[in-house]
Chains A and B, each alone.
Chain A
Amino acid sequence: ERVMTQSPATLSVSPGERATLSCRASQSVSSNLAWYQQKPGQAPRLLIYGASIRATNIPARFSGSGSGTEFTLTISSLQSEDFAVYYCQQYNIWPRTFGQGTKLEIK
């Protein structure tokens, strides 16, 4: 099983600033990495797949990078609606596994 580790657990950033979230895989997952956003009381929403491909209707301020074992989600200029929990997920092998999440909070 691929273990996914996200850091930091909580990130405090001011609106308008850049946020950088990290995800590390215990072994290579190639580029088979997705990012999800989850707001309180809502289902997760797909943001990024293929490590860097934005899903449909996802704003350009969200970008993903990385391959192998190290991945990054960057939000270039934080809007109020971006404060949420973010999860990475590998789909390179079964079982598909998630990171434990990074909570992005308002500073």
Chain B
Amino acid sequence: EVQLVESGGGVVRPGGSLRLSCAASGFTFDGYGMNWVRQAPGKGLEWVADITWNGGNTDYADSVKGRFTVSRDNAKNSLFLQMNSLRVEDTAFYYCARDGLSDGSGPYYFDSWGQGTLVTVSS
């Protein structure tokens, strides 16, 4: 069974930093591209960042480009999101999500999701 478990959320001041982690199990982690998707409380879904299976390519939503960095450690089956220069509007649940296919091209839908971790940016 595919499992994705996020951690690292919390309360941070505007301008601060936070690092999110996603622990993956139940599948061959290094065979899939991975993503971060966020959802502000009571709002819709927004794709944030993705990374290819080997970490060789990354992409970001314009709203976080230059502030967030996605990375992965395939030896530890883990995905990360380093968030710097946080803004109030970054407050959201952050979900780790797996690409729906593993053939290395894309883009894809998201076939498995973690339960999310809440990031609150507030003074």
Contact = CB atoms under 8 A, between A and B. Distances in A.
Interface of A: 32, 34, 36, 42-46, 49, 55, 87, 89, 91-101
A89 B109 contact: yes
Interface stretch (B13-21, B74-82, B111-119): B111-119
B45 interface: yes
B56 interface: no
Interface residues of B, number: 20
Given A43-B95, A43-B115, A91 B109 contact: yes
B44 A45 contact: no
Contacts of A100: 44
Interface string B56-86: 0001011000000000000000000000000
5 contacts: A44-B45, A46-B109, A46-B111, A91-B106, A95-B47
Per DSSP, are chain A's interface residues mostly helix, strand or loop, or mixed? loop
A24 to B, nearest CB: 15
Interface in B75-123: 95, 100, 106-116
Tell me whether chain B's interface is mostly helix, strand or loop, or mixed: loop
A49 B115 contact: no
Contacts of A46: 100, 109-112
Contacts of B113: 43-45
Q: Give the one of A42, A93, A98 with max B CB within 10 A.
A: A98
Given A43-B116, A91-B106, A98 B111 contact: no
Nearest to B116: A43
A99 B109 contact: no
